[in-house]
Amino acid sequence: MALSRIRSVAAVALAALSLGAGLAACGGQDDTQNSAASSSAGYPVTIEHLFGSTTIKAKPERVVTLGGGDMEAAISLGVIPVAGADWFGNTQTRGWVKSELGDRKAPRLISASEPKFEEIAALKPDLILYVNSKNDKKEFETLNAIAPTIAAPVGTKNVYGAAWQDQVREIARATGTVTEGDKVVQQTEALVSDAAKANPEFAGKTITAGVYSVDSLNAWLPSDPRMRLLTSLGFKTNPQVDAMDDGDFFVQISPELTGKLNADVIYLAALDNAGKLDPKVAADKLFNALPAVKAGHVAYWGGVPVINTPTPSGEFSSAFSIGGPLGIKYVIPRLVPQLKDAVGGKS
């Protein structure tokens, strides 16, 4: 990883100390912190994760989030971070997140793709959420030198590969909101389950989903949050795409592999701000020759140009892509009709 992205752990730890931030959970803490922890019910708590374990000695008051959807998952639990990363680098709070915040102050938005460690340290966090993350050990160690940091659940293999249920439960344990976490998981799973039961035609249908980006078709792998939601609705992943799993959350499809995209349903992010199909997709003879596309078993939605726009298409695209309890709640009533049309060949 480039030096511009990763500062040395020692340098950042020194900066954190000079700002009064807590040391990593794996290290020692002073008597004042230990005293505070003793008066915090339910603490200390130790979280096992991909890079070992982190002990949180007192209920966190200043949470910073960096993983994809970590900020939104925390908010669903009633935990409002002092700062958090929008997965796609948007500088404005998403509308579907604002509705959950109500009159509470929105977190300050910071970068996740290129974390500014000194900026994070200056926020004086007492917990950093790096749960649905890129699984970079050096980045984790740098963050953990600033404040106790929890990473992806044990066994996570793909980058950004944490299931939203595991993400919520891990964050709930770390923030002392286990009861709220169980409730959020149950309510969200019921919402998805009810949608699946109301649409039995989804069950068992194979689906390819992805995005047209950088002049290329890209298919999401099973660990992607969007694919997890689609399979929760009854669809099955495309085994030809699954076979290309390389540990990432998507795979780029070269022209000669276009045929592997065919499935019962294709769901592609390829619309622009005007709701028009990207002209390069419209002109792609190989893609348009796929049986599913020719039969109308395809649905298109807002692609890269809309993801950070304050439009209905942008709101849907961001909520579907970020996922979790808040995203799913927003998406389900809008997603299901699109999928019904695609299954019925009405696209």
Residues 6 or more apart whose Cβ sits within 8 Å of residue 325: 72, 73, 76, 164, 168, 184, 185, 187, 188
Q: Could you report the per-residue pLDDT of 277-333, keeping only the tens digit for each?
A: 999 999 999 999 999 999 999 999 999 999 999 999 999 999 999 999 999 999 999
How high is the pLDDT of residue 24? Answer: 37
Residue ranges for the chain with pLDDT beneath 50: 1-39
Report the distance separating Cα 65 and Cα 58, nearest Å: 18
pLDDT for 1 equals 39
pLDDT score of 29: 36
Predicted TM-score (pTM) of the model is 0.87
What does the pLDDT read at residue 221? Answer: 96
Q: What is the Cα–Cα distance from 60 to 247, expressed in whole angstroms?
A: 32
Residue-level pLDDT at 40: 56
Instruction: Report the pLDDT value the prediction gives residue 135, as an integer from 0 to 100.
Output: 92
On whether the CB atoms of residues 96 and 317 are closer than 8 A, the answer is no
From residue 288, give the alpha-carbon distance in Å to each of 132, 216, 255, 298.
34, 14, 12, 10
Assess contact for 318 and 303: CB atoms under 8 A: no
The answer to whether 154 and 50 have CB atoms below 8 angstroms apart is yes
Q: So what's the pLDDT on residue 27?
A: 38
Q: Are 233 and 195 in contact (CB under 8 A)?
A: yes
Partnered with residue 265 across adjacent β-strands are 207
C-alpha 83/C-alpha 108 separation (Å) is: 4
pLDDT digits over 203-238, tens only?
999 999 999 998 999 999 999 999 999 999 999 999
Axis crossing angle, helix 312-322 with helix 324-343, rounded to the nearest 10: 110
Q: What pLDDT sits at residue 214?
A: 86
Phi, psi of 109 (to 5 degrees): -90, 130
